[in-house]
Structure 1
């Protein structure tokens, strides 16, 4: 009998089995695998995948085109990605002139939308309230064949995409990765990166893009995926209504046929740019995703490079030769690379690290791996196939990669393939593919150390606590950080029961329960999620930042908690979590310790025991402490050459006094604090601040099948300590206007920050009106700044506005954008035109109603996962609110008036008090460095 594995799509399970197809002769059922139904729409050959769950009124609509950067030729590299941008520009039905842009129309329903491009595919998707499913299908059908693709749109969007390219060039690992693929594949079209070469981005004629569009964007080259709340007969009717008029492609679509010639020896590339760490990436040629050897290669990558027990971590990080190390196999359709990467201090030599990597590979090829290592990886991935399905958009995304690989059922059967892998298979693929003559090695050599003037600061706390929902529209895949598709698949033959959280809008009310357990404030949220839960929590640090001189102590202490306990050393602790497929996240700022994990319901007791061990009984090993310090120093040093980090630091330092919790230290100050920290400092901090006094935990999901209460009582029995303090802070701010330049050499993309102190706290009556105001200015694609500075002027890839700062302190308002240094002043001027208009005229009544709908809708969509629901509730109870405020928050948005919003703008933003930060390759006057 086959064992049944249930996986879930989000947090409140919409455990609905697939119903039999009602008669519709135009839809031919192909197969059902794991509960996912595949149909062929006969009139035009479009592939359709359906996964139904009616527990929560949320649905994801996605269309995947089987065209990617591999379909491009010399001269039109980046065409797929540039087209992805242009296909948001409109159709005769949805366009800017009529006030019905695709992004406006979708965001005004509360949709979360995006599109991504990769080597083998392009996808467009939106997660939205299910009563708007017809709108999503109408838009996707319309832009399939009716995209305008105008020259003026291309000319404006070219500079946007070029800025995206330039942002990638700021990152050493991205640059090195691109060079390695270009050297490894000299003939196959994986040779060029998805975003393309800069000259092709700049010069591609609109006719080339139109021809590419007319060649590949047809229904018989697409897979339509619908996941969530729908009725099948209704969906069939809507597909027929919107896609039925579109014919098959009139021509055979050309496919690349170039094969990579044999490699006759190792290749090497060297990149020299400003940076703080050396990097080596050694990459070996491997076959495509559906090859029988890929499961063994994926397991090999996990054993070599994932977690504290990995071979690379023990070899490089624990010995302090390196700051980080990783390994993994790409899972592209045709060919790929197995990469081993190491980042290390400049005191180490590239040649020594390279030689050590070769030693590691040789040892694996000689000794192989153990059955226990293989079993741990398979157990980890089996659990993560369930835990990763927290949202219909996540399932859609992972299905995308299976579709791109050439067989969507890999999403379902992948784990079954992994379970058949033996240690002998892993040894065989290591010997077969990790061959020096089939390798390409890349060196990133830091050209110079970054410097920082005494006034330039650091961005640890920049991310706003209530920032706008922004979903990146653009390229995915400059770095290979995606989980291989066959590592997140399900067991063959299992029934897929997708799960979406029931929240404010659902058909079933959410149930909250709150109680004190061993002094811990615990909130239980039962959802219809099946077989898993998400747990998030925090411990307040009270007035730590006012009473201590070393701001790095909290984060160093939190990192040490995973480095072994009094009951399990680092390796045993890591291996226990790995077998459960759990990542235990514990990190800290100067204001609180954050806690989080997701696990199978049946494993809650084991994970809670390990959490208690980490929080209550850390080992505080001296050698591990020195390892952690070196890793922190290496990671922090990289910020010296990051324009965004440096710029955001400068912003807060120019707003707040040194004593304010929102003030950021310089990177040099952070580095000194790391160096000066002692193990005794960490132990004293842990003794004082860790305890139940201010600890909150929220558990959401399948709580009925857990004994969380019992587990907490057992694991946290007699635990005392912690602080329960009201934060005292210095309200002194710097109100004067100022412009500061942070100069960083050889960065093709510079960062702009504009901001000023508002003094608004999250609990203030003006906070929500002002949030609506800033969201109107710079929230997502439909924000004014994106529609003007980006879409009209083509000056930036991304520009946003929001509010930042600790939730209980007086916050600040900011704008952030990236520009090419040569366009920086033009970008600043264009931004200020919109800011001045916003301050002077406010927003319109139409904008207010659209933003209310947008914010309320996206809030509810965000609650459709256990992760989103638990995190939102935690943020509320940390501020002294009840969990039920989840229901009240949309009502508070709804009651805001136009006068409230426009009064808030004038009250909190003054044009003569702007702080402007220019960070990048700019001179002291803000001009581009030549």
Structure 2
């Protein structure tokens, strides 16, 4: 008997071994570079890229299809993007009728997920706990060939995509750039925008989309990437299990072959539409991403458009002619554009700006660039590239674009190519490609709307999006992990322990070290990050908001810090940072000053010294101050024509009395405050509030051996000042319900805001129960509002609910959505149906458990970034909590009961006290303007 059992076991082991060997034989290794392994799955030709990092229990699964809007023809433009939307509608296994939609199933694991479409590719991705990799692979394999693609889903999703199109039409830069591309390329399929022409979006038959799907969605047209915590053998087994039954494409996949004809002279387009700033964008034709000239073009773009010493900045912004400038080098597979842009006040003339751009281009074509300029840019990009590799989501995003370009290895080799560029190379590409006869110039001429009584944009300097705008544009996607400003970092984390995608717990509990260093409260957290650290800091302004007559002073002061120091002018100072690849972000609102940066560990001492120089010894030059005021004025004026900004400000003005920290000033008030601000005001603010008295600093990453404390002691010795006081305010709010319409002409997408005062502070016992309630209603794709008003009824691209306000004060709750003006009332009615159901019936026990799992699972997902950890811990200690609360938070979520959640809804939301704001191309009665 024993011998028989033993032989049976051996036979089973032998069979298992043979099976494992046969599965491994199906995966042919192609190459390995930079830790990334490429395999070919022989049964169906699918490419696989693996990058293993088992330090944190998180992984990103991504599948990239080599099909984009360039594969479309006249009549089906936008098909790739509309199909991408429909791929979330389900399969026979995962669908709404079964109660297990793709978004529900993934989000209930705590996953961050989305998809994006661009000219050369479409990608689907999920960053999730690594023990859920199998689920992600099952879903991606299933929808590769089994997506339902029903006519009913298409009809509902068409209006969703159309609203996405309309939202883009609200933005002057988006409209202008779309027109430039369609004029620059008249034959090549990059001619039409990825989102497509509106009539094609509205009329494309479902049969067209099914044919597109059956033509291109096959494994031999896809690259599967898995990055993070996994075992290769397990991945091979799962790939074989779920993709093994899918064959190669039955037919050859058609590829575009149209070539752009020769352009015989410059082209020019003019757009006249409601706006506040003039814009001139000039575009020159360049080759595709794999062309040998792209490295030199990229360096040229940086020298022309990036940083204080950039040619465009010194030509336009420093002289007061422009509000913002940029240069952007597209990196598409086949052809592209080298884009130069200038936004300017209406006091300037479009022809004059255009002429000065041409003069700047002519100078660089004549004089070229220096070796020092190239070295500075190369060092900057090299450091930025290393620092950006912070989390599996970011790496997958960058690999996505390299795959689309035709060679994933450029993700690894890109910096090496830059290092080989010479001044002669840059001069050659400037002369070869920046040719007037191969250019397309676009003018945006604003039809100014005049003054308005409401509206306040953010005071931070406006910079247009010069990177890729993906459709669908991935809110929450890690397109660029580095936070753009200290203010935005804090905005992400004011409810950080509730928004748990920003929170991380290491596989082994992180070691927190907290101590006072030269008066600064310092928290150090060692994680699995290698060779770099992220720093986030804040300084409280105490009761400044109650004492000031000019709330613009903090933001103006923070912006002036980058304009030079008493030791280095702004050019020399910025060059020192650029060589390190570091952005020192210092921003402020009326309650806090925020500081954040990311740097290589070896450079920390230098960066701390530069930070100390910037915040301790600012130059405060009068000319720079007047120039800055002009930039602020131009940026703020743009809010007059932004339905979202106007609606948001109107909501807070309807909820709070003037003087409350959550009340927003009107545009006119902001403009007056900017005009009245003096350099003496800025100096006085700096002297009083910049200091260690209430400063917290969190450093996260490879902290061992970083010697932060020594750097702080050396650079901040004898630094004093700041305030240490608790914000005091009168807890009052306006309670009557009201409806207000803000009319803005020529906006094809209008914004809805519904909200009311709750009085909830972050420390209140009801906060987490109400947060879970709100999360169920309107957070993400799995929220009720998205699943009904968007997915079922197809009325909007985006609808959400959230909790707002300073976390130390009585906050408010709101719903925000965008609708075509003709669908606005229908969208409002559909939203109110869901709000009524939510308030009167509450949420279900099943929803509660799903959301708990979702929120707690998101802890693991947050492991992928250091700035998520830094910002979260900073928000904890600002509230008086210990960093270790990061371990307590899941328990606080888990212990919330269904009764607590539903009681919180009825306690804080009154259906008869709703404030409704309608903002956009609507008349005084809320009807669409014809």
Shorter-chain TM range is: over 0.9
| Residues 296/584 of structure 1: CA separation in 2 closer, same or farther (3 Å cut) | same
Three-state SS of the structure 2 residue aligned to 1:126 is: strand
Whether the aligned pair in 1 keeps the contact of 2:504 and 2:869 (CA below 8 Å) is no
Cα distance in structure 2, aligned partners of 1:346 and 1:80: 39
Whether the aligned pair in 1 keeps the contact of 2:459 and 2:636 (CA below 8 Å) is no
Give how far 1:178 is off. Answer: 0.1
Three-state SS of the structure 1 residue aligned to 2:583 is: coil
Question: Which residue in the other structure is 2:15 paired with?
Answer: none
Question: Which residue in the other structure is 1:526 paired with?
Answer: 526
Whether the aligned pair in 2 keeps the contact of 1:502 and 1:527 (CA below 8 Å) is no
Question: Which residue in the other structure is 2:472 paired with?
Answer: 475
Question: Which residue in the other structure is 1:458 paired with?
Answer: 456
Whether the aligned pair in 2 keeps the contact of 1:504 and 1:510 (CA below 8 Å) is no
Whether the aligned pair in 1 keeps the contact of 2:329 and 2:338 (CA below 8 Å) is yes
Question: Which residue in the other structure is 2:135 paired with?
Answer: 135
Three-state SS of the structure 2 residue aligned to 1:561 is: helix
Question: Which residue in the other structure is 1:356 paired with?
Answer: 356
Superposed CA offset, 1:314-367 (max 9, x none): 000000000011112100000000011000000100000000000000000110
Three-state SS of the structure 2 residue aligned to 1:286 is: strand
Whether the aligned pair in 2 keeps the contact of 1:194 and 1:475 (CA below 8 Å) is no
Give how far 1:549 is off. Answer: 1.0
Superposed CA offset, 1:506-536 (max 9, x none): 4311000000111111100011211000000
Whether the aligned pair in 2 keeps the contact of 1:114 and 1:473 (CA below 8 Å) is no
Question: Which residue in the other structure is 2:373 paired with?
Answer: 373
Cα distance in structure 2, aligned partners of 1:640 and 1:904: 36
Cα distance in structure 2, aligned partners of 1:574 and 1:565: 11
Whether the aligned pair in 2 keeps the contact of 1:459 and 1:648 (CA below 8 Å) is no
Cα distance in structure 1, aligned partners of 2:299 and 2:164: 33
Which residues of 2 match residues 426-825 of structure 1 at below 5 A?
426-452=426-452, 454=453, 456-458=454-456, 460=458, 474-476=471-473, 506-825=506-825
Give how far 1:697 is off. Answer: 0.5
| Residues 104/403 of structure 1: CA separation in 2 closer, same or farther (3 Å cut) | same
| Residues 330/571 of structure 1: CA separation in 2 closer, same or farther (3 Å cut) | same
Question: Which residue in the other structure is 2:166 paired with?
Answer: 166
Cα distance in structure 2, aligned partners of 1:102 and 1:474: 19
Whether the aligned pair in 1 keeps the contact of 2:502 and 2:868 (CA below 8 Å) is no
Superposed CA offset, 1:476-500 (max 9, x none): 499xx9789xxxxxxxxxxxxxxxx
Three-state SS of the structure 1 residue aligned to 2:342 is: strand
Give how far 1:415 is off. Answer: 0.6
Whether the aligned pair in 2 keeps the contact of 1:517 and 1:713 (CA below 8 Å) is yes
Whether the aligned pair in 2 keeps the contact of 1:538 and 1:696 (CA below 8 Å) is yes
Whether the aligned pair in 2 keeps the contact of 1:309 and 1:571 (CA below 8 Å) is yes
Three-state SS of the structure 2 residue aligned to 1:261 is: coil
Whether the aligned pair in 2 keeps the contact of 1:643 and 1:751 (CA below 8 Å) is yes
Whether the aligned pair in 2 keeps the contact of 1:461 and 1:805 (CA below 8 Å) is no
Cα distance in structure 2, aligned partners of 1:276 and 1:194: 27
Whether the aligned pair in 2 keeps the contact of 1:461 and 1:662 (CA below 8 Å) is no
Three-state SS of the structure 1 residue aligned to 2:792 is: coil
Whether the aligned pair in 1 keeps the contact of 2:506 and 2:527 (CA below 8 Å) is no
Cα distance in structure 2, aligned partners of 1:21 and 1:805: 59
Whether the aligned pair in 2 keeps the contact of 1:279 and 1:344 (CA below 8 Å) is yes
Give how far 1:825 is off. Answer: 0.4
Q: Do residues 186 (structure 1) and 186 (structure 2) align?
A: yes
Whether the aligned pair in 2 keeps the contact of 1:120 and 1:333 (CA below 8 Å) is yes
Whether the aligned pair in 1 keeps the contact of 2:654 and 2:915 (CA below 8 Å) is yes
Give how far 1:598 is off. Answer: 0.2
Question: Which residue in the other structure is 1:465 paired with?
Answer: none
| Residues 473/880 of structure 1: CA separation in 2 closer, same or farther (3 Å cut) | farther
Higher mean alpha-carbon deviation, 503-512 vs 394-403, is at 503-512
Question: Which residue in the other structure is 1:491 paired with?
Answer: none
Question: Which residue in the other structure is 1:924 paired with?
Answer: 924
Question: Which residue in the other structure is 1:88 paired with?
Answer: 88
Question: Which residue in the other structure is 2:3 paired with?
Answer: none
Matched residues, number: 882
Give how far 1:730 is off. Answer: 1.9
Whether the aligned pair in 2 keeps the contact of 1:539 and 1:696 (CA below 8 Å) is yes
Q: Do residues 107 (structure 1) and 104 (structure 2) align?
A: no
Give how far 1:121 is off. Answer: 0.2
Whether the aligned pair in 1 keeps the contact of 2:503 and 2:872 (CA below 8 Å) is no
Cα distance in structure 1, aligned partners of 2:919 and 2:856: 35
Question: Which residue in the other structure is 1:229 paired with?
Answer: 229
| Residues 473/893 of structure 1: CA separation in 2 closer, same or farther (3 Å cut) | farther
Give how far 1:247 is off. Answer: 0.2
* TM-score computed with the length of structure 1 as normaliser: 0.93
Give how far 1:504 is off. Answer: 6.0
Higher mean alpha-carbon deviation, 636-645 vs 443-452, is at 443-452
Whether the aligned pair in 1 keeps the contact of 2:505 and 2:886 (CA below 8 Å) is no
Cα distance in structure 1, aligned partners of 2:308 and 2:222: 41
Give how far 1:460 is off. Answer: 3.9
Question: Which residue in the other structure is 2:202 paired with?
Answer: 202
Cα distance in structure 2, aligned partners of 1:130 and 1:173: 40
Whether the aligned pair in 2 keeps the contact of 1:162 and 1:198 (CA below 8 Å) is yes
Gaps of 5+ in 2: 1-19, 461-468, 482-500
Three-state SS of the structure 2 residue aligned to 1:704 is: coil
Cα distance in structure 1, aligned partners of 2:687 and 2:385: 38
Whether the aligned pair in 2 keeps the contact of 1:62 and 1:124 (CA below 8 Å) is yes
Cα distance in structure 1, aligned partners of 2:736 and 2:472: 39
Cα distance in structure 2, aligned partners of 1:258 and 1:539: 57
Cα distance in structure 1, aligned partners of 2:28 and 2:380: 37
Cα distance in structure 2, aligned partners of 1:767 and 1:529: 33
Whether the aligned pair in 2 keeps the contact of 1:795 and 1:819 (CA below 8 Å) is yes
| Residues 24/459 of structure 1: CA separation in 2 closer, same or farther (3 Å cut) | same
Which residues of 2 match residues 271-290 of structure 1 at below 5 A?
271-290=271-290
Cα distance in structure 2, aligned partners of 1:822 and 1:450: 25
Superposed CA offset, 1:612-654 (max 9, x none): 1111111100011011101111111111100000000000000
Cα distance in structure 2, aligned partners of 1:908 and 1:137: 41
Give how far 1:450 is off. Answer: 4.4
Superposed CA offset, 1:301-322 (max 9, x none): 0000001010110000000000
Whether the aligned pair in 2 keeps the contact of 1:643 and 1:750 (CA below 8 Å) is yes
Give how far 1:502 is off. Answer: 13
Whether the aligned pair in 2 keeps the contact of 1:55 and 1:502 (CA below 8 Å) is no
Give how far 1:448 is off. Answer: 2.2
Cα distance in structure 2, aligned partners of 1:755 and 1:561: 37
Question: Which residue in the other structure is 1:495 paired with?
Answer: none
RMSD: 1.7
Q: Do residues 866 (structure 1) and 853 (structure 2) align?
A: no
Give how far 1:537 is off. Answer: 0.6
* TM-score computed with the length of structure 2 as normaliser: 0.93
Give how far 1:475 is off. Answer: 2.3
Cα distance in structure 2, aligned partners of 1:361 and 1:505: 50
Superposed CA offset, 1:459-487 (max 9, x none): 5499xxxxxxxxx9942499xx9789xxx
| Residues 707/506 of structure 1: CA separation in 2 closer, same or farther (3 Å cut) | closer
Cα distance in structure 2, aligned partners of 1:235 and 1:159: 39
If asked which structure has higher relative contact order (CA below 8 Å, sep 6+), I would say 1
Give how far 1:451 is off. Answer: 3.4
| Residues 667/688 of structure 1: CA separation in 2 closer, same or farther (3 Å cut) | same
Three-state SS of the structure 1 residue aligned to 2:813 is: strand
Cα distance in structure 2, aligned partners of 1:690 and 1:48: 51
Question: Which residue in the other structure is 1:305 paired with?
Answer: 305
Cα distance in structure 1, aligned partners of 2:728 and 2:505: 38
Cα distance in structure 1, aligned partners of 2:223 and 2:373: 37
Three-state SS of the structure 1 residue aligned to 2:664 is: coil
Whether the aligned pair in 1 keeps the contact of 2:56 and 2:863 (CA below 8 Å) is no
Superposed CA offset, 1:11-43 (max 9, x none): xxxxxxxxx999711000000011100000000
Three-state SS of the structure 2 residue aligned to 1:681 is: helix
Superposed CA offset, 1:814-833 (max 9, x none): 00000000000000000000
Cα distance in structure 1, aligned partners of 2:515 and 2:604: 18
Cα distance in structure 2, aligned partners of 1:482 and 1:893: 29
Superposed CA offset, 1:769-809 (max 9, x none): 00000000000000000000000110000000010000100
